[in-house]
Chains A and B, each alone.
Chain A
Amino acid sequence: MSVRDDRTTRRDPLVYLVLVAGLVLTITPFLVMISTSFTDQSLVLELPPKLLPADPTTRNYTDALSSSGFALYFANSAVVAVATVAGVLLLSSMMAFAFARFTFPGKSVLFGALMAALMIPGMILILPQFLVARDLGLIDSRLGLVLFYIGAQLAFITFLLRGFFQSVPKELEEAMELDGAGPWRVYWNLMLPLSRPALATAAIFTFLGAWDEFAWALTIINDPDKRTLPIAIALFQGQYSTSWGLVFAASVIAVVPVIVIFVFFQRHFVSGLRSGALKG
């Protein structure tokens, strides 16, 4: 063991060098974004580029926040993302429970259909999905966003949770059943509480997917009052074609919740992945 430790230590400088070099490439764009968001519009894209703006200003932030609708777009995104998370967690955990704990005719066909959906790039369905949404009167509706986000994420989250549910020892369940508990109580009072780490992982994936989604929202939302943040930011860029400071101030505001959630759930995240998707 000590031999190994010595060698690891000796190789450390090179390891750090590579890791730090990669890190610089990874985070420089973020630093540029933050720096530009604090730069006055007249000084954006000046040469040489400055990592710290010479005369930092918060004007881009106040402009973005006071621009018409920004608070509304933020609220729209939050409502849509939270509703999507709730819907996906409920529906997927129910399906995962059925697949993990029951045998029934048609099981492998149904599971195969879900897995097949994982194997196609979701975007190819956008034309017929648009027609479905239109026929259901879901154009320009937040429900239209939520419903289709749920549908798009169901398969993966079911797969993730099924893996976790299968790892829950059966003895606990059998003990509950001896006490007369039916399948619904086992699901609600045993499976879900035991699966918190997996559910947290699933919640992050789902939240990010809904919070960041662009193409579907671009397609069905025309009403400015229903816009989500990604649409609003993309339009910021068209609306004020050179106002990069404003674009990036809005971007930073949109990215912050994601980072907060990610940092908060980080611990669950890797462990949830390990127990779910990558077993065997």
Chain B
Amino acid sequence: MSVLASEATARPAPVPVRGSGPRGPRLSTRLRAARVPYLFLLPGFAVFVLVMAYPMAQAFRISLHEWNILPGAESTFVGIANYLRALEDPVFWKALVNTGVYMLATVPAQLALGMLVALLLNRAIKGRTWFRALYYLPVVTSWVVVSLLFRYLFVTDAGLVNYVLVDILHVTDTRIAWLQNRWTAMVAICALGIWKGVGWSMIIFLAALQNVPKELTEAAELDGASPTRRFFSVVLPMLRAAVAFVTIMLVIGGFNAFTSIYLMTGGGPGNDTQVLLTYMYEQAFDFLDFGYGSSIAYILTLIVFALSVVQFRVFRYSEED
């Protein structure tokens, strides 16, 4: 997994700070030179701390309080009460399960389909550029637009999906009330997640495939290896960094799913399609319970962190084989 680990391992030491060499100029000049990289970092980090780092710390503090959102008002410290409340909250568990289902349905599908399309497009075929651009179209289209669009496609009475299933394929006679039931609604939500994400995996895999030397696959082909064998034994190992990168990003993206659920079902019917983020949002901005909302956010953070550690281990071990 050299994409993210390169800082620690791969890079040679960059050029020394200017003017700091052994025969360098006066001390004041050297100090000024030593300041230079920090000056380059300062504006960016000022924004970063204000918008990312400080809120990250603040979220933890809020999660330990019954937070009073009025400016300057006192909040009651409640320890881990908000976390304990989550553990006993059936809706929290439902949201957790839905988040897991979303992940298990969308991540492998995006990986596999993205890889398939990338492999098919990684050859001299006519219209390659067009295929690539059109497959990428959902990625660049806003979540708001595609969420409303999928809601429209999954409308019960006259939606395209039911029309195709009932009137063209004759798979079923009854029109499915997709967005009115938990699992059918999850199917629609996951379908959107996969549809929107395949192009992204594809483009990363396509970029990575360009770095696989043709000689390798040709040699394997001359040795009589089947296409499947060639893929798993020659190509896939060369793509390890890309697969790791895509997997990690898709998992994080899966946890970040909000807009599609918010706009397609609003977490309903009841709370049946809540995921952790929609539930967090509802607790905070509908019920103004920032303390409980923040504890849900922190539980989510811990899960993501744990999963990332596991993924890093898996990918690093396979690198050592």
Contacts and interface: CB of A to CB of B under 8 A. Distances in A.
Interface of A: 4, 8, 12, 15-16, 18-19, 22-23, 25-30, 32-33, 36, 45-49, 87, 90-92, 94-95, 97-98, 100-104, 107-108, 110-115, 117-132, 134-135, 147-148, 150-152, 154-155, 158, 166, 170, 173-174, 177, 182-183, 187, 208, 211-212, 214-215, 219, 229-230, 233-234, 237, 244, 247-248, 251, 254-255, 258-259, 262-263, 266, 269-270, 273-274, 277-280
B16 to A, nearest CB: 7
User: Number of contact residues on B: which range applies?
Assistant: 35 or more
Interface stretch (B90-98, B116-124, B181-189, B229-237): B116-124
A15 B137 CA distance: 20
Given A29-B150, A120-B252, A134-B71, A154 B145 contact: no
B279 interface: no
Contacts of A107: 37
B51 interface: yes
B169 interface: no
A45 B15 CA distance: 65
A166 B15 contact: no
Nearest to B168: A48
B48 A155 contact: yes
Contacts of B242: 278
Nearest to A101: B14
Contacts of B245: 277-278
Given A4-B218, A101-B15, A103-B17, A119 B145 contact: no
Nearest to B199: A26
At the interface, is chain B mostly helix, strand, loop or mixed? Answer: helix
Contacts of A270: 203, 206-207
A134 B6 CA distance: 38
A258 B142 contact: yes
A120 B157 CA distance: 40
At the interface, is chain A mostly helix, strand, loop or mixed? Answer: helix
Contact of A123 (B124, B210, B256): B256
B158 interface: yes
28 contacts: A4-B221, A12-B125, A16-B125, A19-B121, A26-B198, A30-B137, A32-B153, A98-B37, A100-B14, A103-B17, A113-B48, A119-B305, A120-B301, A120-B304, A121-B277, A124-B301, A128-B62, A128-B294, A151-B51, A152-B51, A166-B11, A183-B18, A244-B152, A258-B140, A277-B245, A278-B3, A278-B204, A280-B241
B163 interface: yes
A234 B15 contact: no
Contact of A91 (B44, B125, B199): B44
Contact of A131 (B58, B140, B207, B241): B58
Contact of A45 (B134, B143, B158, B248): B158
B315 interface: no
Contact of B137 (A26, A123, A147): A26
Given A122-B256, A124-B298, 18 more contacts: A23-B135, A102-B40, A103-B17, A107-B37, A119-B252, A120-B304, A128-B62, A151-B51, A183-B36, A229-B142, A247-B148, A251-B145, A251-B149, A258-B142, A259-B140, A273-B204, A278-B245, A280-B10
